[in-house]
Structure 1
Amino acid sequence: MFLFGFVQFCGISAVLFYTPTILKDAKVDEVLSNLININKNSATLLASAMSAMPMLFFILLGMWLMDRAGRRSILLYTTPILFLTMVIMSLARVVHLPSAVQSVVLIGCIMSFLSFFNMGFGAVPNIICSEIFPTKVRGACLGICSLTTFLCTTVVTLSFPALNNLLGAPTVFGFFAFMSLVSWVFTFLKVPETKGIPLEIITEFFAVKKLE
């Protein structure tokens, strides 16, 4: 449940659903429309599409690394990128940068965030949670995890516009950065590596840990 909660509170729903709003607030649409001579709405859609383009490659890369590098390792190496991109996005809205530079920074950060998220947190929690639960309660436990995802997605999606207007983008992105850092600590301390371990052995391992 904590893993699925961190998936959302790292900011994925806010970035994924509100990319056009984030870019428009930072005047990226104006920069692109002046640069390539298109209207602002088209510029916003183009910037959003550019941000999402590398995701497929990183999803495939994550699939390839899943049984090579390991689930835990992927999370530990990708989560700091989420933290870094959110910090940069926060600072980019505070530091007075030229509009063109700020546009490039924000598009690059969103692109990196979406790519590394889908490589790590986008897939790994589902795999880990399908492996660590005993067979007799796996269905119920996965249902609880799915409910956690739904509730956290709802909270983040509905609260982002209000918090963005009330506190400002730098504060909201700073919160997502903090939660990314907390999720890394949680992964380091609590998430086991299940790469190459049969389900039966994983179940026995957790049974022994419970007895201890």
Structure 2
Amino acid sequence: MNHEEESRPLLAEENSVQTIEGRSEQDAYLEKVKNGKLFLATLAAVLGPLSFGFVLGYSSPAIPDLQRNSDERLRLTAEEASWFGSVVTIGAGLGGLLGGWVVERIGRKLTLMFCAMPFIFGFTIMIAAQNHWMLYVGRILTGLASGVTSLVVPLYISEMAHERVRGAVGSCVQLMVVTGIMGAYIAGLFQGWRWLAITCAIPPTVMLVFMCFMPETPRYLLTRGKRREAEEALRFLRGPHAPVEWECDRIEEASREEEGHFSLADLKDPGIYKPLGVGVMMMLLQQFTGINAIMFYAETIFEQAHFKNSDIATVVVAATQVVFTAVAALIMDRAGRKVLLILSGVAMCVSEVVFGIYFKLSTMEHGNSSLLKALSGTHGTVSETPPNDLTWLALASMGVFITGFALGWGPTPWLVMSEIFPMRARGFGSAVCVLTNWTCAFIVTKTFQNLMDLITSAGTFWMFSGLCALNVIFTIFFVPETKGKTLEEIQAHFKRTLYR
């Protein structure tokens, strides 16, 4: 080997970022990146979704406890319990709107720290509750915090992460939500509603402390003209050996095209209205998969399968979601968003067709009215419907559905929402998506029983199956594959100037 050949590797090592053009330049930069502190910042941020999960899971063990409460001032009727469970969605919708405004005014980090306060105050009010209104206020406050969290955490993570790990760390948002739900279910097996509220207040308290030591996102700092702070944030996130000036230059160059604040007139820009349409439709279709319908039926199905303790069965369901959401996080950056969404949609579509067949066969023998009674809590009919030899069909369908949802349509809409909006419209677009999601969740929850009365249980699940098929079609034709792309490349896709 001659001297020229020997010097070539050293030259490439020293000047890789400066001399290699295009995509290889980006690869050379990423080779120098260390992800340890990025994962640490992600861990601090996802304590927010963990808190959000505890809020969602809290009502399941707390409501039966409150309905049996000896204090008449706190004892809940069936109607009051329904509002105690669902009022969170109202607070979350308001939180989504508030979060979209706050996140652009004070930044991602401070917004995340800010939303820890209503979590803590809400659970504190419930711990000290002396009447129904204190319980409702506590739930609304924790719902408000959940709405802000569901908006700001995906943004914070996507703006910190680079394209090689953004799918994995972004999927941790949904992973921590389902982990929080499972945590609340498990804690509810051993704790009363007051002690459970104390347990639920721990994650947001820890998040508030941890976030004090985490940086603001470099992209937000650069839009505010804080180049030095952005470089310091990137140096924290990328490690000491990465030439962060190169990444700052790249982000700044893309940001110059996005100068100015968002206004409603910007909705004429295809770079804004196209991702907004994709984000809103994904949130709408996520809720209309029927996930709430399946979870509504879960306890009754387990009772029909002769599980002695349906509380433990709900923990099993939650654990299934955690496991397969974790699998989705691990494979998101390898398999891609579209592949997982399509496989998820097909699995849910097939499982709900089978669910419909299960209920059709059941009601042919016993009548739909007995099923409705079982679902409304009339325990005397549970053992009568449906026949035991069909129960395996329902259990298998529920398992396939939950697995499919956890692999794709659970985590991916939140991840894609955080990736597709240009910087100036990120707060507005995310707020509209979050509001859509929570509004649809409220509609599905409140109208589900009416749908069963109108078109029967089988018809309801066949309707949801058709909507899952629509999910697959929408994904194929409209959802962009964002795997391995920078945020700037994804946004350029909607302007038809880049991203093949």
Indicate the residue corresponding to 1:204 in structure 2.
492
Q: Which amino acid aligns with 1:7?
A: Q
> 79, 95, 100: which is aligned to 2:388?
100
CA contact (8 A) 2:283 2:413 kept: yes
Q: Which amino acid aligns with 2:338?
A: R
Query: Post-superposition shift, 1:154?
Result: 0.8
Indicate the residue corresponding to 2:306 in structure 1.
32
CA contact (8 A) 2:304 2:391 kept: no
Indicate the residue corresponding to 2:449 in structure 1.
161
Q: 1:104 to 1:177 in 2, by over 3 A?
A: same
CA contact (8 A) 2:343 2:404 kept: no
Indicate the residue corresponding to 1:66 in structure 2.
332
Q: Does 1:14 align with 2:293?
A: yes
After TM superposition, the structure 1 stretch with the greater mean CA deviation from structure 2, 70-79 or 89-98, is 89-98
Query: Post-superposition shift, 1:200?
Result: 1.1
Q: Does 1:175 align with 2:449?
A: no
Residues 53-79 of structure 1 deviation map (CA, whole Å, 9 limit, x = unaligned): 322210111001110000111101111
Structure with larger RCO (C-alpha < 8 A, sep 6+): 1
CA contact (8 A) 1:163 1:172 kept: yes
Could you say what secondary structure the match of 1:192 adopts?
Answer: coil
- Give the distance between the partners of 1:157 and 1:31, measured in 2 at CA: 24
- Give the distance between the partners of 1:183 and 1:150, measured in 2 at CA: 18
CA contact (8 A) 1:50 1:111 kept: no
After TM superposition, the structure 1 stretch with the greater mean CA deviation from structure 2, 105-114 or 131-140, is 105-114
Indicate the residue corresponding to 1:131 in structure 2.
419
Could you say what secondary structure the match of 1:54 adopts?
Answer: helix
Residues 68-106 of structure 1 deviation map (CA, whole Å, 9 limit, x = unaligned): 000111101111000000000000122359822321111
Compute the RMSD of aligned alpha carbons: 2.1
Indicate the residue corresponding to 1:85 in structure 2.
351
CA contact (8 A) 1:70 1:195 kept: yes
- Give the distance between the partners of 1:73 and 1:45, measured in 2 at CA: 34
Could you say what secondary structure the match of 1:67 adopts?
Answer: helix
- Give the distance between the partners of 1:193 and 1:173, measured in 2 at CA: 29
Q: 1:195 to 1:15 in 2, by over 3 A?
A: same
Could you say what secondary structure the match of 1:83 adopts?
Answer: helix
- Give the distance between the partners of 2:360 and 2:297, measured in 1 at CA: 19
Query: Post-superposition shift, 1:52?
Result: 3.6
Query: Post-superposition shift, 1:134?
Result: 0.4
Aligned-pair identity in percent equals 28
Using structure 1 for the length normalisation, give the TM-score.
0.85
Residues 130-161 of structure 1 deviation map (CA, whole Å, 9 limit, x = unaligned): 11110110111000000000111011000111
Q: Which amino acid aligns with 2:493?
A: F
Query: Post-superposition shift, 1:201?
Result: 1.3
Q: Does 1:76 align with 2:342?
A: yes
Q: Which amino acid aligns with 2:325?
A: I
> 188, 191, 209: which is aligned to 2:479?
191
CA contact (8 A) 2:304 2:388 kept: no
Q: Which amino acid aligns with 2:289?
A: C
Q: 1:190 to 1:61 in 2, by over 3 A?
A: same
- Give the distance between the partners of 1:190 and 1:52, measured in 2 at CA: 31
Higher Cα Rg, which structure: 2
Could you say what secondary structure the match of 1:208 adopts?
Answer: coil
> 421, 435, 439: which is aligned to 1:147?
435
- Give the distance between the partners of 1:99 and 1:47, measured in 2 at CA: 20
* Total equivalences in the alignment: 197
